[in-house]
Amino acid sequence: MNSRTPLKPSTLNIRKTNLTAAASARTPVSLPAFRKIIWLMPAAYLLHIVEEYAGNFPAWVSEDVHGKFNYFGFDTNNIMFMIVLLTLVTLNFRKASTRTAIALTVFASANLFWDALFHLFMTPLLDRYSPGLVTAVLLYVPISLLVGIVVIKNRILRPRTFAIAVGGGAVLFGFVVWYGLFHFAV
């Protein structure tokens, strides 16, 4: 059919329908695969440790938060936490199950999401930079939100199970702060 051939009414209806469908169709945002994005968490954690180390986090805890923390404790805790995080990410990468996804959500939410909120809360409270704030805001918060969306949208965990696991992460984070920074002080 050339440009001079008149269009039949049925052809016009088909074209109109196709244009209407194309105009109303939404282009869905494609979410990354769970197995791929979970590797962002240990990468962000490593960068966060570097920022805390460069900002002298142990001294900040001792001087500003009035806890007791030194570089031996800082190094030991971060090495152990990285080993656990890498283990959980690897297990979920190889074969995600409800159990491994819950364990990863609890642990990662404690060490990324709740830690980010800690830095965001402590900086204005103490009116002083909390070492780790930049990576918490630029990496931890968006990665935590992205992983949470993927976990729920891809049905890795049910929303209720995910919420309970994130709540478990809050409890774990509270315990880590109480033990690691305050050595069970009451």
Task: Look at residues 130, 169, 132 and name the one whose alpha carbon lies nearest to residue 147.
Answer: 169
pLDDT band at residue 181, thresholds of 50, 70 and 90?
confident
Q: At residue 27, does pLDDT exceed 70?
A: no
d(CA 12, CA 27): 25
- 99 in the Ramachandran plot: left (φ > 0), alpha (ψ -120 to 50) or beta? alpha
State pLDDT tens for residues 33-72. 999 999 999 999 999 999 999 999 999 999 999 888 899 9
Q: At residue 89, does pLDDT exceed 80?
A: yes
- Token reading at 8: 């039949």
pTM: 0.81
Counting Cα atoms < 13 Å in the Cβ hemisphere of 66 gives 2
Say which residue, 25 or 32, is predicted with more confidence. Answer: 32
Q: What pLDDT, on a 0 to 100 scale, did the predictor assign at position 182?
A: 80
Q: Are residues 45 and 85 in contact, defined by beta-carbon separation less than 8 angstroms?
A: yes
Q: Collapsing DSSP states into helix, strand and coil, what is residue 3?
A: coil
Q: What pLDDT, on a 0 to 100 scale, did the predictor assign at position 23?
A: 46
DSSP characters for 77-144? HHHHHHHHHHHHHHHHHHH--HHHHHHHHHHHIIIIIIHHHHHHHHHHHHTS--TTHHHIIIIIHHHH
CB atoms near residue 107 (< 10 Å): 22
Rounded to the nearest integer, the mean pLDDT of the chain is 88
Most confident by average pLDDT, 17-31, 136-150, 169-183: 136-150
State pLDDT tens for residues 120-172. 999 999 999 999 999 999 999 999 999 999 999 999 999 999 999 999 999 99
Q: What mean pLDDT comes out for the span 79-98?
A: 96
